[in-house]
Amino acid sequence: MTTKAKVAMVTGAGNGIGRAIALRLARDGTHVLVCDFDSDAAGYAQAEISADGGTADAAVVDVREREMVAGAVKQLVGKWG
């Protein structure tokens, strides 16, 4: 898989398909904002990406809450542009 994206925000990235997508993007060189409503799951995914040599940050996000999504986007832009 290749991507032109340098930065990605992946929701549901704490587990399952979202986690697999976040890990793959990071392995391909993308900076990943790992978003999940479970802070522990997001943190574990971030740690796994970092241990694998990737770049990631974690955010607690419930995608049903507009303000939380906006905050995550602000975090992503502030960190990686």
Mean pLDDT of all residues in 5-31: 95
Q: Does pLDDT of 4 surpass 80?
A: no
For the domain spanning 7-80, the CATH number is 3.40.50.720
Quick one: average pLDDT of 13-42? 97
Q: Predicted confidence band at 5 (pLDDT cuts at 50, 70, 90)?
A: low
Say what the alpha-carbon torsion angle 28, 32, 36, 42 is, to the nearest 10 degrees.
80
In 3D, which of 38, 44, 51, 49 has the Cα closest to residue 12? 38
List for the chain the helix, strand, coil content (%; round to 5).
50, 20, 30
For residues 20 and 33, is the Cβ–Cβ distance under 8 A?
no
Distance CA 38, CA 78 (A): 22
**34-49 pLDDT, tens digit each:** 999 999 999 999 999 9
